[in-house]
């Protein structure tokens, strides 16, 4: 299974080119803040196993005001490195490699800096 090319972004991690993408529209569960925010990554030029990452927050476009955060390239790079160290082989065929990140994992990935969450109803 491959991620759609439209709307995906390229990122180079340790000399390897990957594509990553956040789903364009939330699923019904994500819109209600029942499901986590997710993004997918895969090798840019070959087919193989997709990395599916679940974060411990809601999407910014969720219908209910839950805590949320932006997915930035630095987070994607750190997540790909973590997945590779945990056994993800992007060239191997098979089902998606699922990686669920907790708040503690996010703090470790961002060099000890806790994630900055935004709560939509507290915006000015």
Enter the pTM of the model. 0.81
Segment 34-50, tens digit of pLDDT: 667 889 999 998 888 99
Distances (CA, A) of 96 to 50, 63, 83: 5, 28, 12
Q: Is the dihedral of CA 12, 87, 112, 57 positive or negative?
A: positive
Q: Mean pLDDT throughout 89-109?
A: 88
- pLDDT of the residue at 57: 75
Angle among Cα 32, 55, 39 to the nearest 5 degrees reads 90
Question: What is d(CA 45, CA 118) in angstroms, rounded to the nearest whole number?
Answer: 35
Segment 48-64, tens digit of pLDDT: 899 999 888 766 666 77
Segment 12-22, tens digit of pLDDT: 999 999 999 98
Confidence band, pLDDT 50/70/90 cuts, at residue 121: low
| Under 8 Å between Cβ of 15 and 80 | no
């Amino acid at each position: 299974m491959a991620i759609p090319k439209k709307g995906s972004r390229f990122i180079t991690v340790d000399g390897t080119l990957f594509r990553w993408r956040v789903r364009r529209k939330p699923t019904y569960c994500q819109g209600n803040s029942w499901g986590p925010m997710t993004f997918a990554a895969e090798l840019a030029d070959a087919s193989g196993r997709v990395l599916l990452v679940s974060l411990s927050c809601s999407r910014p476009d969720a219908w209910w005001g839950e805590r949320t955060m932006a997915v930035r390239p630095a987070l994607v790079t750190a997540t790909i490195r973590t997945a590779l160290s945990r056994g993800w082989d992007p060239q191997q065929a098979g089902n998606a490699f699922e990686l669920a990140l907790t708040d503690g994992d996010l703090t470790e990935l961002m060099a000890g800096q806790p994630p900055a969450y935004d709560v939509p109803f507290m915006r000015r």
